[in-house]
Amino acid sequence: MTDLAEKIKKKLKDEIASLEHELHSELPQELKKARAHGDLKENAEFKSAKERQSYVSARLGQLHQRMADISMLNLSNLPKDRAAYGSRIVVLEVAKSTEIEYKLVTVEEADVTKGLISTSSPIGRALLGKKVGDEVSVTTPAGIREYEVVRLITIYDEE
């Protein structure tokens, strides 16, 4: 599991490095060039560069927070008998009588097409802490869905 955290950290560090380069090297050059064109009130290049600067600064803040969150992720504290990060969980969608398998992952790993759902998504949050036999109602963009947990494989079961 540490390999996974390291992989996520590397991905975040790469994005941080790229954005920091843009924020401290490229954007100041763009702003300087735009200022040279004169009147800043009607200068689209200047306005665009300032907006990008704002966005990059905000995104860097988010990425640094995410790095801190991942650094604090302690996998040894995960429950052994309930759904948590890394668990594979099979649910029965009551209305359709169909089984769906999900794996609870971080936001960076999420890929709904592969059944990888974030622990912060509506379904992921609803499934956290659940055991086999538990029923959950989830409000999704498509409406309320009812699920019953039919199988659970935690990270401890996979080792």
Reported as a single tens digit per residue, the pLDDT across 13-32 is: 899 999 999 999 999 998 88
- Identify which has the larger pLDDT, 41 or 147: 147
Same domain, 44 and 83: no
Q: Please report, rounded to a whole number, the percentage of residues in the chain having pLDDT higher than 90.
A: 43
Q: Determine the pLDDT at residue 42.
A: 79
Q: What is the DSSP string of 59-113?
A: HHHHHHHHHHHHHH--GGGS-SSS--TT-EEEEEETTTTEEEEEEEE-TTT-BGG
pLDDT exceeds 90 at position 103: yes
Q: Determine the pLDDT at residue 46.
A: 87
Domain boundary among 42, 73, 104: 73
Q: Please report, rounded to a whole number, the percentage of residues in the chain having pLDDT higher than 70.
A: 91
Domain boundary among 73, 102, 125: 73
Q: Determine the pLDDT at residue 68.
A: 75
Same domain, 57 and 82: no
CB-CB contact of 149 with 127 (8 Å): yes
Q: Determine the pLDDT at residue 1.
A: 47
Number of domains in the chain: 2
Measure CA of the first residue to CA of the last residue in the chain; give whole Å. 10
CATH number at residue 47: 1.10.287
Interstrand relation of 98-105 and 88-93 (parallel, antiparallel or unpaired): antiparallel
Same domain, 61 and 117: no
- Identify which has the larger pLDDT, 62 or 4: 62
pTM over 0.75: no
CATH number at residue 153: 3.10.50.30
* Full domain range(s) for residue 150: 78-158
Same domain, 66 and 96: no
Same domain, 90 and 152: yes
Q: Determine the pLDDT at residue 76.
A: 67
List C-alpha distances in Å: 79 to 97, 107, 135, 140: 28, 20, 19, 26
Domain boundary among 50, 73, 96: 73
Same domain, 59 and 89: no
Same domain, 98 and 47: no
**Nearest in space to 154 (alpha carbons), one of 70, 77, 84:** 84
The average pLDDT across 117-125 equals: 90
Q: Determine the pLDDT at residue 132.
A: 94
Same domain, 102 and 147: yes
The average pLDDT across 131-141 equals: 91
